[in-house]
Amino acid sequence: DVKVTQSSRYLVKRTGEKVFLECVQDMDHENMFWYRQDPGLGLRLIYFSYDVKMKEKGDIPEGYSVSREKKERFSLILESASTNQTSMYLCASNDPPLGDQPQHFGDGTRLSIL
């Protein structure tokens, strides 16, 4: 079974801090994704990566950056955390081609920015 592991289930940070969310997958998937999930807004794509060191902006990339130095690891970085970034963050992975395969999700990180 595919396992996508997110490093923290709950995280509390202060405004202005630089925040790192880590995600590791164990199935050698090419594609990895970061979403945020908010009530009434569904899942929204922040960034995705289709290969090591490659990244593409999703629908809401402002205020975020990502890093993919190794195939199995995809990090989401909040450069200067703000209260409107309080949310549930979900990491996912799948194999190419993009669009054909289901995504496998981690259990999420619930991030609170105070």
Partner 1 sequence: EDQVTQSPEALRLQEGESSSLNCSYTVSGLRGLFWYRQDPGKGPEFLFTLYSAGEEKEKERLKATLTKKESFLHITAPKPEDSATYLCAVNTNAGKSTFGDGTTLTVKP
Residues in the chain: 114
78 - beta bridge partners?
19, 64
Based on the shown chain and the rule CB under 8 A, indicate whether residue 99 belongs to the binding site for partner 1: yes
Smallest gap from residue 15 Cβ to partner 1 (A): 25
Cβ pair 48, 32 in contact under 8 A: yes
Which residue from 7, 8, 11, 45 is in contact with partner 1, where contact means CB under 8 A? 45
Of the ranges 13-21, 66-74, 78-86, 94-102, which one interacts with partner 1 (CB under 8 A)? 94-102
Cα 2 from Cα 29, distance rounded (Å): 9
Based on the shown chain and the rule CB under 8 A, indicate whether residue 54 belongs to the binding site for partner 1: no
